[in-house]
Amino acid sequence: MKYVDEYRDAAGVKRLADLIRRKTTRPWNLMEVCGGQTNAIVRFGLDKLLPDEIRLIHGPGCPVCVTPIEIIDQAVAIATRPEVIFCSFGDMLRVPGSQMDLFTVKSEGADVRIVYSPMDALALARSEPGREVVFFAIGFETTAPAVAMAVVQAERLGLANFSALISHVLVPPALRAVLGSPQNVVQAFLAAGHVCSVMGTHQYEPIARDYGVPIVVAGFEPIDILQGVAMCVDQLENGRAEVEIQYSRCVQPEGNRAAQSQIDRVFRPVTRQWRGIGPIAESGWALRPEFTRFDAASRFGVEGIRAEEPAVCLAGAVLQGHKRPHECPAFGTACTPEHPLGAPMVSTEGACAAYYRYRRREGGGA
């Protein structure tokens, strides 16, 4: 298939792996930010094609994985109300809260529905005026424009029965948190192409400058990722720390101005809790005061719900790149996709799920 097969071409992959090998003269630690990139790396064994000096570290770029446990508990509390139709992306249903997940809530009779867009939830609110329709708004900058558009449309239509449980998180503050950790060993980043297709690259330039780290915006196929690694290695070997775009077929430096405008209209930056990591300043979005009537947490009075992560789960260490999934004692035993302890075992973008699916039989891999 055009635009897929050409980025999985075996000869092209080999050429890039050989190029990286020739460029590399010393050890380097690179973090791929996006869970989609992590899945591709593990699925296609791209890390095994690299020289021993190149270590790929899996980052916190899985939006399902970083949604805090207290937000899941808030979602459960809202979804169990008889007047509510709770709408969510499908991969959120198995993410464990402190007591149960949305799938269990649905199995016990709650009206939990899988949708593919917040606009689906908006349409449902129009067709079910006697019910409260709540959309579970999770994700990075990629999914925020559609949520903002849904809120604007709800206001325009005067829909009083539509709201959103907001848990949007932002990538640049997370990169600063990784780099600011005393345990940090990351020397360069592969940034997420889809996020930058919306937001552009200007927010990454101060990070590259302040911390002296190359940041290459990369795609999600084998050729994309290896080309991004080669660009990072070239910068590292030559003492440069710049923002470059590998994923130029989708990303422009300015991003999508119309999407950014919609986001700015509806959202304001806030400190956000990250699952397994903790609070990161200005790393999330909340609705602006003029749109707070569409805030489900406030509408249903669940803002005060707090919860703790299970101590046995090392999801936080995995999400920050401090541990590999198979280094968690619960991996593949107490924690499986069917019975997950942490969110990285649920999502297709989660590192634990990728290792379980592709590397469980080899002890987790490199």
Which three-class secondary structure string do you get for 109-128?
CCCEEECCCHHHHHHHHHHC
CB 119 within 8 A of CB 149: yes
The residues, ordered by sequence, that sit 6+ positions from 161 with a Cβ below 8 Å of its Cβ are 125, 128, 129, 130, 131, 132, 133
Q: Which amino acid belongs to residue 346?
A: V
Instruction: Give the H/E segment covering residue 286.
Output: strand 278-287
Q: In 3-state terms, what secondary structure has residue 148? A: helix
For the chain, the domains span: 5-64+171-245, 66-169+255-299, 315-362
Q: Residue 366's pLDDT is what?
A: 43
Among candidates 216, 170, 195, which has minimal Cα distance to 259?
Answer: 195
- Cβ-count burial of 25 within 10 angstroms (0-12 exposed, 13-18 middle, 19+ buried)? exposed
In total, the chain counts a number of residues equal to 366
CB 307 within 8 A of CB 325: no
Among candidates 298, 29, 39, 4, which has minimal Cα distance to 179?
Answer: 29
Please give the model's pTM, rounded to 2 decimal places: 0.92
Query: Dihedral of CA 347/342/287/121: which sign?
Result: positive
Architecture of domain 66-169+255-299: 3-Layer(aba) Sandwich (3.40)
Residues 37 and 54: their CA atoms lie apart, in Å, by: 16
Tell me which residue has tokens 């867009």: 117
How do the pLDDT tens digits run along the chain, 366 residues long?
A: 466 778 899 999 999 999 999 999 999 999 999 999 999 999 999 999 999 999 999 998 888 889 989 999 999 999 999 999 999 999 899 999 989 999 999 999 999 999 999 999 999 999 999 999 999 999 999 999 999 999 999 999 999 999 999 999 999 999 999 999 998 999 999 999 999 999 999 999 999 999 999 999 999 999 999 999 999 999 999 999 999 999 999 999 999 999 999 999 999 999 999 887 889 999 999 999 999 999 999 999 999 888 777 777 888 888 888 888 989 999 999 999 888 888 899 888 899 999 999 988 765 444
Alpha helices in the chain (DSSP H): 10-23, 35-44, 63-66, 69-79, 102-107, 118-127, 144-157, 171-180, 193-199, 205-211, 222-237, 257-266, 296-299, 315-319, 351-358
Q: Residue 363's pLDDT is what?
A: 55
- Tell me if 5-64+171-245 shares its fold with 66-169+255-299: yes
User: How many of the other CB atoms lie within 10 Å of CB of 216?
Assistant: 28
Residues 27 and 51: their CA atoms lie apart, in Å, by: 9
CB 232 within 8 A of CB 30: yes
Residues 74 and 79: their CA atoms lie apart, in Å, by: 9
Q: What's the Cα-to-Cα distance from 53 to each of 23, 152, 294, 299, rounded to whole Å?
A: 11, 50, 50, 53
Pairing of β 267-274 and β 278-287: antiparallel
Residues 11 and 23: their CA atoms lie apart, in Å, by: 18
Q: What's the Cα-to-Cα distance from 364 to each of 61, 114, 250, 274, 351, rounded to whole Å?
A: 20, 32, 33, 25, 11
| Both structure tokens of 148 | 């903002």
Name the CATH superfamily housing domain 5-64+171-245: HypD, alpha/beta domain 1 (3.40.50.11750)
Residues 32 and 43: their CA atoms lie apart, in Å, by: 14
User: How many of the other CB atoms lie within 10 Å of CB of 119?
Assistant: 15
